[in-house]
Amino acid sequence: MTKRTLYELQAENVRKTYLFIVLFSLILFAVGYFFVWYFNWGITGIIFLAIFIVLYNWIAYEQSDKIALASVGAVPADPEKFYVLHNIVEEVALAAGVPKPKVYIMNEPQPNAFATGKDPKHASICVTTGLLQMMNREELQGVIAHEMSHIRNRDILLMTVVAIVAGLIILLRDVFLRSMWWGIGGERRRDKNDNLGIILLLIGLILSIIAPIVVLIIRSAISRQREYLADATGAYIVRDPYGLASALEKIGNYTRPMRTASSATAHMFISNPFGKVEYLFATHPPIEERIKRLKSLTI
């Protein structure tokens, strides 16, 4: 296997982000076009759809971190109250060679954390109150180093954009299925083009079901691959694989689901926020395997 440098991996993540935005735009246009036809909105609907896609992509790129933080109820961590946390974030950022990210707190008993932002200069790290209560300094340092690796490897933009995109597609699916249930747009289906209407209706129904699954597959593949890389990179940043390994062991033993868990943002966290056994579209590799790999590292 050809070895790639960190800069090559970073460039690959940037390319994947733009590619995912293009693919998502095509999926969104296909689903949106069906809505335009279904509700008989005509050319005006197509124009508004195109404007919406452009605006949404801009928001996903520029404001996705703020949306992700707000969706989980994260608030800025007070530097005096959370002095130790700020100190660890600062020292790990220095070791990683990136600017110190903004620090946020989630009032959540489940031990977990995530990083977000469009680049290292506009990054944020969020940890739960449960993580702070459960971890010692070495373990917390390992978790922060893992999240700092996502920032350093430029995973954060891709992971955050995927979260925003997944959320919208799942929302569109729900809107469509509910409109079908309520019979909205029935007049449009009873026009003279009954055969065409039935075909388009089936296409729209298939898209509404398959589109979220496609997003789940892409999201899972991206997340699982990058979690292993972030574990190893984090261990090298702090020159200690055992702190993160111990932290993951504690996190894995906590089985209660996160109160604010969402299928759209699950892949952003250091571990599965639902506290479930891993499944086909799992957003994270098994914790046992991650611990095994960390303990086998030679620093």
Binding residues for Zn(2+): 146, 150, 227
User: Please, where are the H alpha helices in the chain?
Assistant: 6-38, 42-62, 64-71, 83-96, 129-134, 137-152, 156-182, 186-189, 194-238, 241-253, 287-295
Q: Which parts are annotated binding residues?
A: 146, 150, 227
- Is residue 145 within 8 A of residue 96, CB to CB? The reply is yes
Of the listed 8, 90, 147, 289, which one is catalytic?
147
Cα distances (angstroms) measured from residue 271 to each of 20, 43, 60, 231: 23, 45, 23, 12
Cα distances (angstroms) measured from residue 252 to each of 229, 246, 271, 282, 296: 19, 10, 8, 15, 19
> Measured between alpha carbons, how far is 189 from 209 in angstroms, rounded to an integer?
20
Q: What is the DSSP string of 129-173?
A: HHHHHH--HHHHHHHHHHHHHHHHTT-HHHHHHHHHHHHHHHHHH
> Is 289 one of the catalytic residues?
no
The catalytic residues are 147
